[in-house]
């Protein structure tokens, strides 16, 4: 998609170049010769009558109309991507391979991020305390497995939710759910989801503003389709979630423009950085259509305060662009300050709501990424209308909706679960940061999410992106620890890494910290 | 998407027009005056030296470079869709509504099809023998509820599949499936799905060529993204499934070009119609990238023979385009001739496989559309690579994958189920067609699918699309029967309707036929 657009814009740019080139060529070409052969005698005639003005106007006009004729003539030829019709021939001997789209080719080629190479390395050689103690420890995947036992316990103690016995006549029987549903989610689930989001974010939500999608990934893509023309841009404070680029660029064709945040600001976004990015993007002839933020921040693991949220809203309002808040980790806040949803700030009534869209889902806070449940919560009627219809492309399984309706309706369980999950996240974050301290590694004090944002610049062979990737490679291939390098998150400063702590047991975390300590020692010794 | 493309192409076309207009304007504009003020004295100098040739070349060259300068200068101005930066002002009083994309607007506006109006009318007033005997009977929805009791029975007799007890340590435990999975489907499910497709289509399939998606809808869209640039065209023999347009045009931007099939050919596609559509599409300056067929045909309910399939493959090969075969009803064939998959024809080795892509899923043959499980089966490596990566936007719930692995692995059940489902479909088709005969309504003899393709031209007030919609409206609003008018399926002949028979019990079918008989009588009487 994006590639297609870039080729599109490149091709239109190169077409201008070509036009220019052809016109320049034509000055010394047979075509230009021909025009001169017409103009010169004519000018002779005119000059013969002494017409200085006409003598200038006529050749100019003729040259102009010639150009016009050639331009029209050219544009009547076949479009650039037309496949010339092959002659009828025996079908099996066709020599030409059939073409796939340029967007498909772009997606195929877009594969070199260390973020994904690390995943692959882990998959090929996963650590297991007993069976593969020298394998790769996965600290690059933002998946929460710390509280899965609680979800499993609830499912086991509520067999009626998963069983198909005894509910034949209810709307949640197989007959009730097996057929086509509202693509954007069953009404009961949207209602229960609104209550769940209220519980998590401490602000009420309207079920009619919810569009459910098969995970947060298609929710983000959907907003790309709804808010931007192909080739338009979204500003994104960096470091940011590495896959935003794929989510928005591959098919929706949205360009992401990083708004660099710095360690000196604790990686908080500033109005100056926003203003600068906005005007630089305009200079690149890109139209900015939205500002995309994640709160809690992925990868930094901090929450935004209400002053910052108001500043972001003010900026979006001033530039008349949309504000997308990815709040997928809203329930994974384990330390003060508390999480503040953009929905809370909108409650003040100070801002136009129609530019605000929230992303949520059950992948992080409920440990269920495989179940593919995402949420778009929009205040914009047009976006809601379009997204409801487009959700045909990413509808949630009704079987999973059926399960979630029951689970989210058990508000007592949900409250207990959220508290306990946050306690466990906080504990694991503490274990990790204590270990990092011991290893002499600095980090940003975080209060949310499944990861810690650490600084290992002093361990790098050189202070550069290359040095960072070199360190990451050593960590992965020598120390067998997979983390996410800051460059994959578009961090402007080299030496930062995202380390996830929620896929490991306490025992495995001890092994991981031991490896990191030794790695740190080794690096310092060799420098 | 599409709309956006059309605006895109329109805007590039209108930009050329504008350029031309501006250039023409400029001939009499101050800009042109200025150039003349420069050229004329210069020409005087040159003429003073008697240079006839230079006297022509210099003004032409100057005029040309002026044009070039103006063109460059113009293109440096803001792009067309740029929002002019508003002055800093109090945020709440911003007067401009924030823009959504043109593709979103197109999707919002694309709402008038009777296909969807009928669904709405049914939803607002659904027939129920006891509670709402005067409600709308749904015969417009291609959903199979005839064999749902068999699926329910299997689920009830296999509680271990849905329960979370006792499987904690298996790869199919909650811990095994709750996390992130291969977006394109778990390896076990792809393997079991290949076997299931083998059972249904009587030809072997390779699990590595399967990409699972959240329903067949995103599978079709995905092929749009992978095979076409925005604005490229797919040929589709008509009448065709009404939602193909939405699936391919909304976001992937693919234009559908109907290849008209006629009742005199029993609605079979002919090579002449294909050739004509192809060359007409080229005349419209659209690049054809694929031929999209449904086999068994939706809405006609017939299967394609191997000669036709070879003809279609030959045509695609000759034109060097892709062939997409939507085989979603492959297992719903209830009468001879047997179904022949395109995969079977490819087995001959006569054709290049890399242009062929099959769509399948569990929505029709397994009565589970709500569970959102679709299949792309492609013979093209690039398409497979791109689709695997793009499937992040439409992944199947792992909970549903878990259930299907168990169900599809029970091959004895699957074989019995398929046979019984086909028997029931055949029986219900028979009941419907006997009723139609009694009512004096003609139909195409069908052997597959969930519907009958009937001709009610003689009941229409006028032989036109308007007459057809008029009849459809009466059927819906007076007789309270929702069917799909042929025009929604892009049928070239007015008077044809698709009537689905698989959502009704035998009792409800009797009521529906009674209503249709009376309606037919009434129409004939009043004409």
Minimum-distance CB partner of B383 among A100, A321, A399: A100
Does residue B302 lie within any of the structural domains?
Answer: yes
Q: Of B38, B169, B178, B353, which to mutate for an interface test with A (greatest number of A Cβ within 10 Å)?
A: B178
Report the percent of chain B where pLDDT is more than 70.
80
So which residues of A are the catalytic ones? 241, 326, 328, 364
Does residue B301 lie within any of the structural domains?
Answer: yes
Minimum-distance CB partner of A164 among B59, B143, B162: B162
The stretch B68-96 carries a mean pLDDT of: 48
Within this chain, do residues B425 and B328 fall inside the same structural domain, yes or no?
A: no
A140 touches chain B (CB under 8 A): no
Within this chain, do residues B304 and B395 fall inside the same structural domain, yes or no?
A: yes
Is A320's CB within 8 Å of B86's CB? yes
Which tokens is B87 given? Answer: 């002055």
Q: Return the pLDDT at B391.
A: 97
The predicted-structure confidence for A343-368, as pLDDT tens digits, reads as follows 999 998 889 999 999 999 999 999 99
> What is the domain count for chain A?
2
CA quadruple A290, A293, A294, A298: dihedral sign:
positive
Within this chain, do residues A136 and A192 fall inside the same structural domain, yes or no?
A: no
CA dihedral B75, B77, B79, B81 (to 10 degrees): -140
Within this chain, do residues B375 and B519 fall inside the same structural domain, yes or no?
A: no
The stretch B267-283 carries a mean pLDDT of: 97
Is A39's CB within 8 Å of B53's CB? no
Does residue A511 lie within any of the structural domains?
Answer: yes
Among B142, B144, B141, CA closest to B123: B141
Report the percent of chain A where pLDDT is more than 90.
72
CA dihedral B11, B16, B19, B22 (to 10 degrees): -90
Question: Is 90 exceeded by the pLDDT of residue A236?
Answer: yes
Residue A214 sits at φ, ψ, to 5 deg, of -75, 65
Is pLDDT larger for residue B186 or for residue B14? B186
Q: Are B122 and B482 in contact (CB under 8 A)?
A: yes
- Min Cα distance B132 → chain A (Å) is 17
- Min Cα distance A383 → chain B (Å) is 7
Is pLDDT larger for residue B159 or for residue A315? A315
Q: Return the pLDDT at A461.
A: 86
Q: Return the pLDDT at A59.
A: 62
Q: Of B98, B283, B406, which to mutate for an interface test with A (greatest number of A Cβ within 10 Å)?
A: B98
Q: How many angstroms separate the Cα of B446 from the Cα of each of A507, B303, B336, B453?
A: 64, 8, 9, 8
Q: Of B164, B224, B402, B503, which to mutate for an interface test with A (greatest number of A Cβ within 10 Å)?
A: B164
Which tokens is B287 given? Answer: 């690049």
ipTM of the complex: 0.83
Q: Of A7, A66, A68, A214, which to mutate for an interface test with B (greatest number of B Cβ within 10 Å)?
A: A214
CA dihedral B145, B147, B150, B156 (to 10 degrees): 0
Within this chain, do residues A284 and A364 fall inside the same structural domain, yes or no?
A: yes
Strands B496-500 and B484-485: antiparallel
Q: Return the pLDDT at B205.
A: 98
* CA-based R_g, chain A, Å: 29
Q: Return the pLDDT at B525.
A: 83
Domain that holds residue B480: 110-147+416-526
Least confident of A305-319, B27-41, B109-123, B365-379: B27-41
Least confident of A255-259, B62-66, B229-233: B62-66
Question: Is 70 exceeded by the pLDDT of residue A44?
Answer: no
B186 touches chain A (CB under 8 A): no
Within this chain, do residues A183 and A328 fall inside the same structural domain, yes or no?
A: yes
Q: Return the pLDDT at B209.
A: 98
Q: How many angstroms separate the Cα of B301 from the Cα of each of B142, B335, B417?
A: 11, 11, 21
* DSSP run (H or E) holding A454: strand A451-455
Q: How many angstroms separate the Cα of B509 from the Cα of each of A96, A326, B135, B193, B432?
A: 52, 49, 14, 33, 7
Q: Which residues of B touch A75 (CB under 8 A)?
A: 16
Would residue B326 show up in a list of annotated catalytic residues for this protein?
Answer: yes
Strands A233-238 and A255-260: parallel
Is A101's CB within 8 Å of B221's CB? no
Is B164's CB within 8 Å of A162's CB? yes
Minimum-distance CB partner of A368 among B178, B322, B372: B178
CA angle B24/B26/B31 to nearest 5° reads: 165
Does residue B396 lie within any of the structural domains?
Answer: yes
Is B103's CB within 8 Å of A225's CB? yes
Q: Which of residues 431-490 of B touch A (CB under 8 A)?
A: none
CA angle B98/B99/B105 to nearest 5° reads: 140
Does residue A214 lie within any of the structural domains?
Answer: yes
Among A494, A485, A501, A492, CA closest to A448: A501
Question: Is 90 exceeded by the pLDDT of residue B5?
Answer: no
Question: Is 50 exceeded by the pLDDT of residue A5?
Answer: no
- The contacts of residue B112 (CB under 8 Å, 6+ apart) are none
Q: Whole-angstrom Cα distance, residue A230 to residue A248?
A: 10
Q: Which residue of B has its CA nearest to A12?
A: B12
- Min Cα distance A205 → chain B (Å) is 22
Does residue A118 lie within any of the structural domains?
Answer: yes
DSSP B233: E
Does residue B189 lie within any of the structural domains?
Answer: yes
Q: Return the pLDDT at B12.
A: 44
Q: Return the pLDDT at B305.
A: 97
Within this chain, do residues B285 and B301 fall inside the same structural domain, yes or no?
A: yes
B118 touches chain A (CB under 8 A): no
CATH number at B366 reads 3.40.640.10
Does residue B405 lie within any of the structural domains?
Answer: yes
pLDDT band with cut points at 50, 70 and 90 for residue B115: confident
CATH number at A515 reads 3.90.1150.10
Within this chain, do residues B400 and B511 fall inside the same structural domain, yes or no?
A: no
CA quadruple B365, B366, B367, B369: dihedral sign:
negative
The stretch A196-214 carries a mean pLDDT of: 98
Report the percent of chain B where pLDDT is more than 90.
72
Within this chain, do residues A378 and A452 fall inside the same structural domain, yes or no?
A: no
Q: What does the DSSP assignment read for B119-132?
A: HHHHHHSB-BTTTB
Is A372's CB within 8 Å of B215's CB? no
The predicted-structure confidence for A374-398, as pLDDT tens digits, reads as follows 999 999 999 999 999 999 999 999 9
Q: Whole-angstrom Cα distance, residue A282 to residue A286?
A: 5
pLDDT band with cut points at 50, 70 and 90 for residue A23: very low
Question: Is 70 exceeded by the pLDDT of residue A28?
Answer: no
* DSSP run (H or E) holding B193: helix B187-201
Question: Is 80 exceeded by the pLDDT of residue B386?
Answer: yes
Q: Return the pLDDT at B230.
A: 97
CB atoms within 10 A of CB A483: 28
- Min Cα distance A485 → chain B (Å) is 20
- The contacts of residue B468 (CB under 8 Å, 6+ apart) are B460, B485, B486, B487, B494, B495, B496, B497
- Min Cα distance B479 → chain A (Å) is 24
pLDDT band with cut points at 50, 70 and 90 for residue A2: very low
CA angle B82/B84/B85 to nearest 5° reads: 120
Q: Whole-angstrom Cα distance, residue A29 to residue A49?
A: 30
The predicted-structure confidence for A222-232, as pLDDT tens digits, reads as follows 999 999 999 99
Domain boundary among B414, B448, B482: B414
Q: Are B236 and B292 in contact (CB under 8 A)?
A: yes
The stretch A496-519 carries a mean pLDDT of: 96
The stretch A307-323 carries a mean pLDDT of: 97
Q: Are B421 and B331 in contact (CB under 8 A)?
A: yes
Would residue B241 show up in a list of annotated catalytic residues for this protein?
Answer: yes
The predicted-structure confidence for A208-220, as pLDDT tens digits, reads as follows 999 999 999 999 9
Q: What is the mean pLDDT of chain A?
A: 86
Within this chain, do residues A280 and A313 fall inside the same structural domain, yes or no?
A: yes
pLDDT band with cut points at 50, 70 and 90 for residue A524: confident
Residue A393: exposure state from Cβ atoms within 10 A (0-12, 13-18, ≥19)? buried
Q: Which residues of B touch A82 (CB under 8 A)?
A: 282, 287
Domain boundary among A380, A414, A448: A414
The predicted-structure confidence for A106-117, as pLDDT tens digits, reads as follows 999 987 677 788
Is B369's CB within 8 Å of A63's CB? no
Q: Return the pLDDT at A72.
A: 55
The predicted-structure confidence for A410-436, as pLDDT tens digits, reads as follows 999 999 999 999 999 999 999 999 999
Is A318's CB within 8 Å of B162's CB? no
A177 touches chain B (CB under 8 A): yes
The predicted-structure confidence for B200-242, as pLDDT tens digits, reads as follows 999 999 999 999 999 999 999 999 999 999 999 999 999 999 9
Within this chain, do residues B245 and B126 fall inside the same structural domain, yes or no?
A: no
Q: Which residues of A touch B86 (CB under 8 A)?
A: 318-320
Q: Which residue of B has its CA nearest to A387?
A: B104
Is A104's CB within 8 Å of B382's CB? yes
Domain boundary among A386, A414, A442: A414
Q: Are A14 and A7 in contact (CB under 8 A)?
A: no
Within this chain, do residues B261 and B402 fall inside the same structural domain, yes or no?
A: yes
């Amino acid at each position: 998609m994006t590639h297609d657009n870039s080729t599109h814009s490149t091709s239109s740019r190169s077409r201008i170049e070509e036009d220019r080139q052809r016109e320049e060529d034509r000055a010394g070409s047979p075509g230009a010769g021909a025009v001169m052969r017409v103009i010169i005698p004519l000018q002779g005639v005119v000059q013969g009558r002494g017409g200085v003005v006409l003598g200038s106007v006529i050749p100019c006009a003729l040259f102009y109309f010639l150009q016009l004729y050639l331009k029209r003539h050219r544009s009547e030829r076949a479009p650039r991507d037309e496949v010339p019709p092959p002659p009828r021939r025996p079908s099996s001997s066709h020599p030409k391979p059939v073409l796939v789209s340029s967007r498909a080719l772009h997606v195929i080629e877009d594969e070199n991020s260390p973020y994904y190479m690390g995943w692959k390395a882990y998959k090929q050689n996963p650590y297991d305390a007993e069976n593969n103690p020298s394998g790769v420890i996965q600290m690059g995947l933002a998946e929460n497995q710390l509280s899965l036992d609680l979800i499993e316990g609830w499912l086991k103690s509520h067999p009626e939710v998963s069983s198909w016995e005894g509910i034949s006549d209810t709307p949640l029987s197989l007959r009730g759910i097996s057929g086509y549903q509202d693509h954007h989610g069953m009404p009961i689930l949207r209602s229960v989801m609104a209550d769940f989001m209220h519980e998590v974010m401490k602000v009420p939500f309207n079920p009619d503003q919810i569009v459910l999608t098969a995970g947060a990934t298609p929710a983000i893509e959907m907003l790309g389709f709804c808010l931007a023309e192909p080739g338009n841009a979204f500003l994104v404070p960096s470091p940011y979630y590495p896959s935003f680029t794929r989510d928005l660029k591959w098919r929706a064709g949205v360009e992401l423009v990083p708004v660099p945040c710095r360690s000196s600001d604790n990686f908080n976004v500033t109005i100056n950085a926003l203003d600068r990015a906005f005007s630089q993007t305009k200079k690149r002839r890109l139209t900015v259509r939205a500002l995309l933020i994640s709160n809690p921040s992925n990868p930094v693991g901090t929450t935004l305060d209400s002053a910052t949220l108001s500043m972001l809203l003010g900026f979006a309002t001033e530039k008349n662009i949309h504000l997308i808040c990815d709040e997928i980790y809203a329930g994974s806040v384990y330390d003060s300050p508390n999480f503040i949803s953009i929905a809370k700030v909108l409650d003040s009534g100070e801002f136009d709501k129609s530019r605000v869209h929230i992303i949520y889902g059950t992948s992080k806070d409920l440990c269920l990424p495989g179940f593919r449940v995402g949420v778009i919560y929009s205040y914009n009627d047009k976006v809601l209308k379009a997204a409801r219809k487009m959700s045909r492309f990413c509808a949630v399984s009704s079987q999973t909706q059926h399960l979630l309706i029951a689970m989210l309706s058990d508000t007592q369980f949900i409250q207990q679960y959220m508290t306990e999950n946050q306690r466990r996240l906080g504990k694991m974050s503490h274990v990790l940061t204590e270990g990092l301290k011991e290893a002499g590694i600095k980090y940003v004090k975080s209060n949310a999410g499944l990861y810690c944002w650490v600084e290992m610049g002093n361990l790098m062979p050189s202070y550069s992106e290359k040095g960072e990737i070199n360190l990451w490679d050593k960590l992965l291939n020598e120390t067998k620890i997979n983390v996410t390098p800051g460059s994959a998150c578009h961090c402007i400063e080299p030496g930062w890494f995202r380390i996830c702590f929620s896929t490991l047991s306490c025992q495995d975390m001890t092994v991981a910290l031991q490896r990191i300590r030794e790695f740190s020692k080794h690096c310092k010794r060799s420098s």
